[in-house]
Structure 1
Amino acid sequence: MRTAVSISMVLGAALAASPAIAQTSVEREVDEVVVTATRSTLPANALPLTVEVIGKPALDQQVAISGSVVDAVSALTPSFSPTRQKLSGSGETLRGRSPLYAINGIPQSTPLRDGSRDGFTIDPFFIDRVELIFGSNALQGIGGAGGIVNQVVVGAPSQEGWSGRMLLQGTADDEFHGDGYGKKAAGLASWRGGGFDATVGGAYETRGAFYDGDGNRVGVDTVQGESQDSESWSLFGRFGYEFGEASRLDLMLNRFQLDGDGDYLAVVGNRGLNIPASAIRGTPPGIPARGRTETASLTYTDDALLGGHLVAQAYYNRTRDTFGSDPTPIATFQDARIAPVGTLFDQSENRSKKLGAKFSYERTVPGWEAMTATLGFDLLKDRTEQALVATDRAWVPPTDFRSIAPFVQANLALLDGKVRVAGGLRNENVRIKIDDFTTLAFYGAREVDGGAPKFSDTLLNGGVIYEPIDGLRAYASYAEGFTVPDVGRITRSITQTGVDIDDFLDISPIISNNREIGLEWKRGPFEATAAYFWSTSKKGQLLVLVGTVFEAQRQRVEIEGLELNASLRTPIPGVTVSAGYAHLTGKTDSDGDGKVDIDLDGANISPDRILVALDYARGPWTGRLQANGYLARDYAGADPRNSFDGYALFDGSVRYDSGRWGGVTLAVQNLLDEFYIDYNTDTQQPTNNQRFFAGRGRTFTLAWDYRF
């Protein structure tokens, strides 16, 4: 049997724990914070959105605990799903839908053939803050079905001359296994002189094997890829020039690469006996799974152009994600015309390139100063394919995506700002072009006529905000989001003859809407927020297991949920107590009658969650103790073996900042060394013993950082 956990007892213990360690974490809709992902200079409290900003101290604290930006966001955001602790983020959702990952607004996702590597495209050392916008919206164009996770890189240096920082870090499991050690070194140097500034940096990290709460190696996913047993390196540059006080030109460059070391073979587990998959020393065939991302952007901002604010950005993004292979040749890749069935080894690689541009201009309307208006125009061209490495076959044919999207937004302040009415529209004009192609033999070697279907839709958003007194705010909003289905999964799995892409409706875009009401109190030592939302897409996308491969299916999806967050600065100096709760329900239409009838499963929605934390910040000492409780869940209409029993995890961090000699941080993930089965694999594929993974056990990270 799985380890039974009483969530109430665990979280009660967290509240009663000593506040000797902590540091505050998330700035929730702070009035002064301008969230760049909203594409407005208005503060977050002037917008009918649920917004969170994870600042640099909190981000560094969480990354020290868990190692990645994705894990940091998940740990601090109750409506974000538990992470897989793998290189692949497939099934990780925000409010039950896939979020759009971005770096300074530059999309990192590859929706045409979603390789789910978009959470690993830059080293966290170069991130200054993470902006979260919740719910379906089209603020950043394609991909924001569940929301936006915008990673804002380090800013320009504020002082003349040289400045910088460095980091040295080591990681180990609690039994200090020799192959479980990890290490990291990173540095950043900046120079500013007159109007010119430059920041350059590099980071290198190796990760050892992961061990679970019982002291056994965590199983390896040799196909989708691993963050354990890997090394990564990243190069970063930001170069800017200021044309006076109001305008600036910025060039940002980033290259991130994570390569699996390929030192382990998978050991099959046993779901019936609750024995997770493990790993032994060995070399899997082919190239270990790896990912590489290169991003460049040129951004011009002018805060005083004709009395308004201009942002113009051009960007380039290229990704190459290689998937590994099992020791047994994958059935999908077999072709008797090449080799006897069961003998052909192959593996696939996603290749994607994006070119894009974004323009927005915002100012108050002359003669009507209470009205702030924004005009914008976005362009995007994306080319993606998925090729088989060994035999040079096209699994997913080259697919071109082109989007032209003008938009307009308006925000009207009434009654001295106590009431605000906001709204806008965005017109998406999309073309998806695919040449003639032939599917793999596994799908019947079907000849498919290519085409270039076009789609156009106007996406609406609107809302009202009421702030009767300082600190009390209520809002209601409606917003439509836009993305495309995983075109690659759909086209590669065509099994019928005579398909013409021009008439193949399964690749039409996904339009999702988000209706939301929210209430918040931010005054004095107590802060609280509550939001309830409904999200619907008539022709959504689900990941459904077909044989051994997940394929995309188009079905109606309805999701609703409740999010609660609260924090209290206690009378004890430096101590803050915070708590969060998220409740999500999701259903889909399995029989195509237009009505939802079964629950979304663990591949498509996260469990309910309770988050409780104690923060401490006084003098040179800061720290945090946090508990995340994932609540049990059954799925109506699904295999009962995929029911989720729930578990709870504690994490902790303590930091001492000496000032002159830098700071030292000790972080502990899974403080109680809890043994648990990863949510994503526990709720799927009940007969797959190879992908039955335990979560990571107690892990220590010791880091020293220094600024100059």
Structure 2
Amino acid sequence: MRHLICSASVSVLLFSTPALAQAPDASESGDSIIVTAARTILPANALPLTIDVIDQETLNQQVAIGGSIVDAVSALTPSFSPTRQKLSGAGETLRGRSPLYAINGIPQTTPLRDGSRDGFTIDPFFIDRVELIYGSNALQGIGGAGGIVNQVTVAPPANDGISGRVLVQGNSDSGFNSDGRGGKIAGLIAWKGGRWDAMAGAAFEKRGAFYDGHGSRVGTDLTQGETQDSRSWSLFGRFGYALSDSARLDLTMSRFELKGEGDYVSIPGIPSIDRPTTSVRGTPPGVPATNRTESAALSLTDSNLWGGNFIAQIFFNRSRDTYGGEIAPLASFQDPAIAPVGTLFDQSQNRSRKYGGKISYERTVPGFDALTTTLGLDVLYDLTEQRLIATGRTWVPPTDYRSLAPFAQFNLALFDKKLRFAGGVRYEDVRIHINDYHTLWTYGGGVDVKGGTPRFNSTLFNGGVILEPWAGIRAYASYAEGYTVPDVGRIARAVAKPGFDIGRNVNVAPIVSNNREIGVELKRGPVDASAAYFWSTSKNGSVLVQTGGVYEVQRQRVEIQGLELNLSVKMPVPGLSLSTGYAHLIGRTDGSDNGIDMVDRDLDGANISPDRLNVAANYARGPLSLRVQTQFFLSRQFERTPGNYDPLYRFDGYSVTDASIRYQTGFGTLTLAAQNIFDKFYIDYYSQTVRPDFVNNYFAGRGRNFTLSWDYRF
């Protein structure tokens, strides 16, 4: 079961030291758990943050059920959207806003042209734990509007010698159809000798077709990409050297590629009678949708440098996200100079490269040990473009983003650490540059656009207070600011005005979200409970509206509020625990161009997840462990115009029950997991609430499927 670290307020440490995998984990620290995504060596109970940690045992259990880290996070986090079960994560939000995915603190998101593929950049086999920080914050810089999902890779071996892990896995739908079967094999070997250590591993997975609760193939999203009917390869390496008893040098590298097999084409659904889009054998045009990511990071840490903790990190990340193509008269990539309109096929590919560095130093103030301070600097450079790979054209011109962000953070402990105050400031200095370019024919026949270098800077504040009068009983309140930028690539590619000047006419000022939270936490004896209420506002939110042939960024107020409740109880029966979690979210925006700054309609299902109730029973005793969990997604309506609820945009609600049984043998661990064990038929949340009349993307959820695993460690 998920290890609930704390329910504390949303984002305060807008900075500190980079998130690195070698920080102590829960098993090493007892109750004083160090959460690396919080970018400090202070324990979680010293921070006014809402934090969850999914440990490796729980993560492996959930991945066996759902198949991915995104599925694991969604299943365990009531305020996270139900997943789309696709390669694209568009519409999957945390607390009503998009989270920032990171690996060891390295951002995987491409905000300049958001491709929504950041949840699939490494195989879960190489992840030790997942750290969740809830709510808007700037802990990792740009992109943490809804929070942070930080994937911490496996730690180096503690003892000299050779060790390792092997995983063999098989998967099938409940009908045991030949095309519904899949499998996975993965291995990791580690070595430590004196000051040196090394790890290397590889994972391969083949996924079959998905079947819904009626026994029909789930429809394929040929444009955005699929996890079904796909293959993935993942490589991982980590090499370290202990410079001294307190200092380490680490090099971590990974490569991940997930590629569709291209065996199916879609058959349109009929939304009016809840008949979903399905799939039949066929060969779609072009190259199958693919996701490829390569990362490398070199870090230097010293936990006792002049009495403080020093961390420096430089990193590189490169991604290529290929999307499926189409032939359509109104498709954006048509050009009669190449082929008659309605006959030209093309498909796009996002290309992004990131370089960056993080440096920080944290220690108590000499002579005043109650005050812990952190000073540091983050640097990020991101170059992103979107190409049309069949014809070799540029859709989104190369756009580079440069950020320099110095920061300072303070944490003051009073009355034997029963009362704490935390606060700080981060200064973001951002430059976005686009060279002169020419748009596609679809946009005004193709026009010359003058590039430019928009700049902005923003000072982001945070503060919070934690009261812990007795161990395990806490109350807290906090305020934090996070930021992101509008989808610059989408704006730039759609310019249709000749002589348009990007530098003068496009508003790319940051979207700053203000997050406030109050809550309480009880962790005593057999009870682990928490309650948190939050409200988040963006006075200048971002909505894209096409005006006069160009996408303009309209600033509209956005308000989101929510309640999160969690309870876990260890029962008198040895090894048995019961847990439940509930999340209620409301999102409103100002959709009226009347000059009045007042929210007057609901955010749709692409932003706000349905209210959810999770219940689970977990039993672990000796070599046997069992888990049964049910997610209840509650029905919802949307006020799309003031006072009017559109009957087309509604969510009927559904529930899904999963189960898992594991047994530790003398030669590895055997796991049998089942997703949607009652074979429930349902239309997924995104299909019902975002484009419910779109016949090609009216998808059913996955029906019952089984996974059998053998996991051996040596």
Q: TM-score, normalised by structure 1?
A: 0.94
How do 1:461-610 residues align onto structure 2 when only pairs under 5 Å count?
461-542=462-543, 554-592=555-593, 593=595, 594-610=597-613
Q: Name the SS of the counterpart of 1:634 in structure 2.
A: strand
Aligned to 1:644: 651
1:695 aligns with 2:672: no
Question: How far does the alpha carbon of each residue in 1:453-500 deviate from its partner, in whole angstroms, 9 at most, with x for none?
Answer: 111111000000001111110110000002112111122223344432
Indicate which of 657, 661, 664 corresponds to 1:654. Answer: 661
Task: Measure, in 1, the Cα distance between the counterparts of 2:103 and 2:310.
Answer: 19
Aligned to 2:170: 170
> Which amino acid in the other structure matches residue 645 of structure 1?
D
Aligned to 2:243: 243
- The answer to whether the 8 A contact 2:616-2:627 is kept is yes
Aligned to 1:665: 671
Q: Name the SS of the counterpart of 2:490 in structure 1.
A: helix
Q: Name the SS of the counterpart of 1:568 in structure 2.
A: strand
Task: Mark the runs of 5 or more structure 1 residues left unpaired by the alignment.
Answer: 1-23
- The answer to whether the 8 A contact 2:663-2:669 is kept is yes
Aligned to 1:27: 4
Aligned to 1:18: none
Q: Name the SS of the counterpart of 1:650 in structure 2.
A: strand
Task: Measure, in 2, the Cα distance between the counterparts of 1:277 and 1:255.
Answer: 33
How do 1:282-293 residues align onto structure 2 when only pairs under 5 Å count?
282-293=282-293
Aligned to 1:315: 315
TM-superposed deviation, 1:605: 1.5
> Which amino acid in the other structure matches residue 317 of structure 2?
N
Q: TM-score, normalised by structure 2?
A: 0.94
- The answer to whether the 8 A contact 1:473-1:521 is kept is yes
Q: Name the SS of the counterpart of 1:159 in structure 2.
A: coil
Task: Measure, in 2, the Cα distance between the counterparts of 1:201 and 1:543.
Answer: 43
Task: Measure, in 2, the Cα distance between the counterparts of 1:647 and 1:553.
Answer: 35
- The answer to whether the 8 A contact 2:383-2:399 is kept is yes
Aligned to 1:707: 713
How do 1:398-413 residues align onto structure 2 when only pairs under 5 Å count?
398-413=398-413
Aligned to 1:4: none
Question: How far does the alpha carbon of each residue in 1:512-544 deviate from its partner, in whole angstroms, 9 at most, with x for none?
Answer: 111111110010101111111111112223578
Question: How far does the alpha carbon of each residue in 1:628-665 deviate from its partner, in whole angstroms, 9 at most, with x for none?
Answer: 0111110102642011010000011010011x310100
1:617 aligns with 2:617: no
Question: How far does the alpha carbon of each residue in 1:645-696 deviate from its partner, in whole angstroms, 9 at most, with x for none?
Answer: 10000011010011x3101000000011000001111112232111000000
- The answer to whether the 8 A contact 1:543-1:604 is kept is no
Q: Judging changes above 3 Å, is the alpha-carbon distance between structure 1 residues 543 and 100 closer, same or farther for their aligned structure 2 residues?
A: farther
Aligned to 2:104: 104
Percent identical pairs in the alignment equals 63
Aligned to 1:16: none
Aligned to 1:12: none
TM-superposed deviation, 1:588: 1.1
1:144 aligns with 2:147: no
How do 1:75-86 residues align onto structure 2 when only pairs under 5 Å count?
75-86=75-86
Question: How far does the alpha carbon of each residue in 1:414-459 deviate from its partner, in whole angstroms, 9 at most, with x for none?
Answer: 1111100000000000000011122222221233211001111110
Q: Name the SS of the counterpart of 2:627 in structure 1.
A: strand
Q: Name the SS of the counterpart of 1:462 in structure 2.
A: strand
Q: Name the SS of the counterpart of 2:507 in structure 1.
A: helix
1:629 aligns with 2:632: yes
> Which amino acid in the other structure matches residue 25 of structure 1?
R
**Range that drifts further, 223-232 or 508-517:** 508-517
- The answer to whether the 8 A contact 1:276-1:694 is kept is yes
> Which amino acid in the other structure matches residue 700 of structure 1?
F
Indicate which of 681, 689, 711 corresponds to 1:683. Answer: 689
How do 1:133-532 residues align onto structure 2 when only pairs under 5 Å count?
133-326=133-326, 328=328, 331-444=331-444, 445-532=446-533
- The answer to whether the 8 A contact 2:327-2:346 is kept is no
Task: Measure, in 2, the Cα distance between the counterparts of 1:545 and 1:81.
Answer: 28
- The answer to whether the 8 A contact 2:506-2:553 is kept is no
Task: Measure, in 1, the Cα distance between the counterparts of 2:206 and 2:570.
Answer: 38
Task: Measure, in 2, the Cα distance between the counterparts of 1:505 and 1:490.
Answer: 8
TM-superposed deviation, 1:25: 2.2
Aligned residues: 682
Q: Name the SS of the counterpart of 1:529 in structure 2.
A: strand
Aligned to 2:88: 88
Question: How far does the alpha carbon of each residue in 1:562-582 deviate from its partner, in whole angstroms, 9 at most, with x for none?
Answer: 111010000011010000000
Aligned to 2:16: none
Aligned to 2:11: none
Q: Name the SS of the counterpart of 2:453 in structure 1.
A: coil
Q: Judging changes above 3 Å, is the alpha-carbon distance between structure 1 residues 545 and 104 closer, same or farther for their aligned structure 2 residues?
A: farther
Task: Measure, in 2, the Cα distance between the counterparts of 1:215 and 1:529.
Answer: 40
- The answer to whether the 8 A contact 2:201-2:237 is kept is yes
> Which amino acid in the other structure matches residue 650 of structure 2?
S
- The answer to whether the 8 A contact 1:25-1:57 is kept is no
TM-superposed deviation, 1:260: 0.5
Task: Measure, in 1, the Cα distance between the counterparts of 2:281 and 2:385.
Answer: 33
Q: Name the SS of the counterpart of 2:413 in structure 1.
A: strand
TM-superposed deviation, 1:97: 0.4
Q: Judging changes above 3 Å, is the alpha-carbon distance between structure 1 residues 60 and 699 closer, same or farther for their aligned structure 2 residues?
A: same
Question: How far does the alpha carbon of each residue in 1:99-134 deviate from its partner, in whole angstroms, 9 at most, with x for none?
Answer: 000000000001110101000000000000000000
Task: Measure, in 2, the Cα distance between the counterparts of 1:451 and 1:32.
Answer: 49
- The answer to whether the 8 A contact 2:507-2:553 is kept is no
> Which amino acid in the other structure matches residue 459 of structure 1?
L
Q: Name the SS of the counterpart of 1:245 in structure 2.
A: coil
Task: Measure, in 1, the Cα distance between the counterparts of 2:354 and 2:2.
Answer: 34
Q: Judging changes above 3 Å, is the alpha-carbon distance between structure 1 residues 706 and 542 closer, same or farther for their aligned structure 2 residues?
A: farther
Task: Measure, in 2, the Cα distance between the counterparts of 1:553 and 1:385.
Answer: 23
- The answer to whether the 8 A contact 1:489-1:551 is kept is no
TM-superposed deviation, 1:82: 0.5
Task: Measure, in 2, the Cα distance between the counterparts of 1:147 and 1:493.
Answer: 30
Root-mean-square deviation over aligned CA pairs: 1.6
Q: Name the SS of the counterpart of 1:132 in structure 2.
A: strand
Task: Measure, in 2, the Cα distance between the counterparts of 1:420 and 1:37.
Answer: 20
Task: Measure, in 2, the Cα distance between the counterparts of 1:374 and 1:239.
Answer: 28
Task: Measure, in 2, the Cα distance between the counterparts of 1:386 and 1:312.
Answer: 32
Task: Measure, in 1, the Cα distance between the counterparts of 2:344 and 2:524.
Answer: 65
> Which amino acid in the other structure matches residue 656 of structure 1?
Y
Q: Name the SS of the counterpart of 1:604 in structure 2.
A: coil
Task: Measure, in 2, the Cα distance between the counterparts of 1:281 and 1:557.
Answer: 44
- The answer to whether the 8 A contact 1:263-1:283 is kept is yes
Task: Measure, in 1, the Cα distance between the counterparts of 2:360 and 2:713.
Answer: 36
Q: Judging changes above 3 Å, is the alpha-carbon distance between structure 1 residues 648 and 556 closer, same or farther for their aligned structure 2 residues?
A: same
Aligned to 1:14: none
